[in-house]
Amino acid sequence: MDEILGSVSMLAQDQYGNYVVQHVLEHGKPHERSAIIKELTGNIVEMSQQKFASNVVEKCLAFGSAAERQLMVDEMLGTTDENEPLQAMMKDQFGNYVVQKVLETCDDRQRELILSRIKVHLTALKKYTYGKHIVARVEKLVAAGDAHVT
């Protein structure tokens, strides 16, 4: 297990290694799961834009604790009102799936915050192949009554 934890970033980006990390996230002990998420935190946005690592980030969101999810959400939102990391992810062929997973796994407060940040970019997102996936997900959430985009 120590070898895996020592190579999490490399494994997450590998076409086969990512399955090892996903398996530990799904079936590992809570402290192992936390160690993986801690190792990836700080690189969530970059990892989200990579074919194999994006699947690992989705598992982090699905199996991480509420506090760990909050750290990942904070990283995705960035430090300015421009939402650069989130914008980049929404337009990315792999990152858009991570944003959709965030909307699916986060709590109501986080979802409202993320949706308020996405709302600003809805019109522009419709022009991007992968951005359209986000627009469709947001519209589905609103139609289901799970979100309020005002």
pLDDT digits (tens, 9 = 90+) for 54-112: 999 999 999 999 999 999 999 998 877 666 899 999 999 999 999 999 999 999 998 99
pLDDT at 147 over 80: no
At residue 75, the pLDDT reads 94
> Where do the domains of the chain lie, and which CATH numbers do they carry?
2-143 (1.25.10.10)
Dig out the tokens for 79 from the structure.
Answer: 């430090």
- Give the rounded distance of the alpha carbon of 36 from its chain centre: 15
Q: What is the pTM of this model?
A: 0.89
Among residues 81, 74, 19, 10, the alpha carbon closest in space to that of 42 is found at 74
Dig out the tokens for 57 from the structure.
Answer: 């980030």
CA–CA distance, 59 with 130 (Å, rounded to integer): 20
Contact between 96 and 51 under an 8 Å Cβ cutoff? The reply is no
Where are the alpha helices (H) located in 64-130, listed in sequence order?
66-77, 84-91, 95-105, 108-119, 122-125
Amino acid at residue number 54: S
CA–CA distance, 110 with 45 (Å, rounded to integer): 17
